[in-house]
Amino acid sequence: MANLKTFTREEVAKHDNEDDLWVIIDAKVYDLTKFKNLHPGGLSALLEEDIPGQDATEAFYGLHRHEVLERPQYRRLQIGTIEGEEPQIVDKINGDISNIPYAEPTWLTPGYYSPYFNERHRTFQRAVRKFFDDHVYPDAQLREQDGKRPSQEVFDKMAEVEMHAMRMGPGKHLQGRTLMNGLVTPEEYDYFHELILSQEVVRCGARGYGDGLLAGCVIGLPPVLNFGSPELKARIVPDILKGKKFICLAVSEAHAGSDVFGLQTTATKTEDGKHWIISGNKKWITNGVFADYFTVGCKTEDGFTVILVERSEGVETKPIKTAYSATAGTAYVTFDKVKVPVENTLGEEGGGIFVMLSNFNHERWVMCCCSARSQRLLIDECMKWTAQRKAFGKPLNTQPVVRAKIAAMIARTEGVQAWLENITYQMNNMSYKEQANKLAGQLAFLKMYSTRCAAESAADAVQMFGGRGVTQTGMGKFIEHYHRAVPFDSLLGGAEDVLADLGVRQAMRGMPSNARL
Ligand code: HEM
């Protein structure tokens, strides 16, 4: 921007035709003469009577995201600014808090208080957000499009600040590590820190990439950490937490999803009792395409057993095409007589249900963190869009029906986050066993409720964006993506109806036998 000049509006007005075409956008002057034939929106749009030589700010923001002007190839088109005027619309600043009302949870909104988050959490949040904006967001936008695995540099950067370890939650695995360059100690790291981390991941607005960013590890590694032998852990965990090796959870099958007793993958012992022989298939396995390790639910003589399988002879993975990007590495996995040492058994033989159940609460809570945060993106997008987009001569947000949709969206999002923070506070104060007893129902309800809210808000957002809400590029690109990907959240970790029923059955078990109306 070294050669920018200043112009008066009168000077700009002289460049008002096809061969000499300038416009003003937010006090910046653009020369579109050479660009006009390359303009993706066509030449005629630039020659409408109120555009050449004039202020096109309103017309531009009704049709383009601000990020268009941030792209280097378009930034070059700016030749100057208007004398005595300052641009009002700012570029994205990495690490910034959104100033759009309700686009951040209250604890991040200036002037509000929180009983849960302290200054240390806030410092941590600022660093994590800056980290994601600097190192993850650009990769997310690329990979969600090309479907390749998240870049190794991103995994490496995350490992430098111990993010892979932090995403496993508070616990022994953090001991001796320097977390986020020392901004939080392993002893003080709590579930609110983890909530922050999980929620910042989601801000990339790229759902497949979010899962590609080692969601498989978040659900597949805890059984190893909690139930693996010390030797097994010493051998595989360090490389996984460094982002060099990848692990996934392989439970659901073509034959059975939530119904673990219906699983058909079998593990039988060799005659000498030293190995398992595993055969069967697993479906919808997040990160399976690039995983080195598989935490596998198997049918065994004693019932259901969880076994760690390493990628080896007889293991094959094929990508499954889903509604979101291949960057998540969603796989169909087949095990054909795979030989696995019995030392890779996680927990007791026949005790797989306990291993799985102990994982479910944390897994569902992480999903709630993500779902709650992702709904903020809808608010951010819809508040901006309905303010800058005009229909029938007025901004969309002058229509009561649009405001009613936004109201419902905000109310749902605030409700979900408040409930989530309450549960997180319980988790910080309960033992793991108490959590299993008291929070399974709460989390089942919250997850079911959150994903229903998300789907309703996504559908409302599409209505507000119209055709752009179903278009993969341009103004509505995040809405289209969200609306397409939101069913994932409603299925992972248990379908909504299954979770709802689980919660009610738990509540029924807690009914006092002498209760009467
Ligand atoms: C610096 C100036 C401009 C640049 C760099 C630019 C760039 C672009 C780009 C990249 C697109 C593709 C859609 C997207 O990615 O959002 C687009 C679409 C479009 N642009 Fe521009 N544009 C500029 C100015 C204008 C102006 C002044 C108008 C006049 C109103 C205009 C009208 C349109 C229209 C009608 C579309 C199609 C929108 C759609 O498909 O929804 N553009 N422009």
Tell which one of 29, 39, 78 to mutate to probe ligand 1, the residue whose CB is within 8 A of the most ligand atoms.
39
DSSP run (H or E) holding 110: none
DSSP run (H or E) holding 16: strand 16-17
Residue ID of nearest Cα to ligand 1 atom 33: 41
CA distances from 57 to 52, 87, 216, 279 (A): 12, 11, 45, 62
Tell me, what's the pLDDT at 262? 85
Per DSSP, the residues of 478-492 read: HHHHHHHHHHHHHHT
Closest CA to 257 of 283, 234, 238, 235: 283
Residues 100-130 pLDDT 10s: 999 999 999 999 999 999 999 999 999 999 9
Residue ID of nearest Cα to ligand 1 atom 25: 60
- Report the C-alpha gap between 2 and 353 in whole angstroms: 65
How, if at all, do strands 78-82 and 5-7 pair? Answer: parallel
Tell me how far the alpha carbon of residue 151 lies from the centroid of ligand 1, in angstroms.
Answer: 31
Angle between helices 352-388 and 477-491 (to 10 degrees): 160
Tell which one of 31, 55, 68, 141 to mutate to probe ligand 1, the residue whose CB is within 8 A of the most ligand atoms.
68
- Answer yes or no: pTM beyond 0.90: yes
For 360-509, CATH gives: 1.20.140.10
Ligand 1 atom nearest the C-alpha of 77 is 1
Q: Is the pLDDT of residue 258 over 70?
A: no
Tell me how far the alpha carbon of residue 479 lies from the centroid of ligand 1, in angstroms.
Answer: 19
Residues 272-328 pLDDT 10s: 999 999 999 999 999 999 999 999 999 999 899 999 999 999 999 999 999 999 999
- Report the C-alpha gap between 377 and 207 in whole angstroms: 12
Tell which one of 18, 63, 69 to mutate to probe ligand 1, the residue whose CB is within 8 A of the most ligand atoms.
63
Region 491-512: what's the mean pLDDT? 94
Tell me how far the alpha carbon of residue 138 lies from the centroid of ligand 1, in angstroms.
Answer: 22
Tell which one of 26, 34, 60, 64 to mutate to probe ligand 1, the residue whose CB is within 8 A of the most ligand atoms.
64
Largest alpha-carbon pair distance within the chain? 91
Q: In the predicted model, what is the mean pLDDT of the chain?
A: 95
Tell me how far the alpha carbon of residue 323 lies from the centroid of ligand 1, in angstroms.
Answer: 28
- Provide long-range contacts, Cβ within 8 A and 24+ apart, for 72-77: 74/35, 75/1, 77/30, 77/31, 77/32, 77/35
Tell me, what's the pLDDT at 1? 60
Residue 238's pLDDT band (cuts 50, 70, 90): very high
Tell me how far the alpha carbon of residue 60 lies from the centroid of ligand 1, in angstroms.
Answer: 7
Residues 332-358 pLDDT 10s: 999 999 999 999 999 999 999 989 888
Residues 10-22 pLDDT 10s: 999 999 999 999 9
Pocket of ligand 1 (CB under 6 A): 23, 30, 32, 39-41, 45-46, 51, 56, 59-60, 63-65, 68, 74, 77, 473-474
Tell me how far the alpha carbon of residue 401 lies from the centroid of ligand 1, in angstroms.
Answer: 28
Tell me how far the alpha carbon of residue 430 lies from the centroid of ligand 1, in angstroms.
Answer: 54
Ligand 1 atom nearest the C-alpha of 56 is 27
Region 416-421: what's the mean pLDDT? 98
Q: Is 206 exposed, middle or buried (0-12, 13-18, 19+ CB in 10 A)?
A: buried
Tell me, what's the pLDDT at 91? 84
Q: Is the pLDDT of residue 426 over 90?
A: yes
Q: Is the pLDDT of residue 261 over 80?
A: no
Tell me, what's the pLDDT at 234? 97
Instruction: Tell the CATH topology of 5-82.
Output: Flavocytochrome B2; Chain A, domain 1 (3.10.120)
Angle between helices 432-465 and 352-388 (to 10 degrees): 30
Domain parsing of the chain, residue ranges: 5-82, 106-213, 247-350, 360-509
Closest CA to 169 of 137, 196, 149: 196
Q: Count CB atoms within 10 A of the CB of residue 251.
A: 26
Q: Is the pLDDT of residue 28 over 90?
A: yes
Tell me, what's the pLDDT at 2? 58
Tell me, what's the pLDDT at 433? 84
Residues 446-471 pLDDT 10s: 999 999 999 999 999 999 999 999 99
Q: Count CB atoms within 10 A of the CB of residue 288.
A: 27
Tell me how far the alpha carbon of residue 40 lies from the centroid of ligand 1, in angstroms.
Answer: 6
Domain 106-213 has CATH 1.10.540: yes
Q: Is the pLDDT of residue 52 over 80?
A: yes
Q: Is the pLDDT of residue 85 over 90?
A: yes
Helix, strand, coil shares, percent, the chain, to 5: 50, 15, 35
Residue 436's pLDDT band (cuts 50, 70, 90): confident
Alpha-helical (H) ranges within 79-202 are 119-131, 137-146, 152-160, 163-166, 191-202
Spatial neighbors of 29 by CB under 8 A, at least 6 apart, are 7, 12, 22, 23, 78, 79, 80, 81, 82
CATH class for the domain made up of 247-350: mainly beta
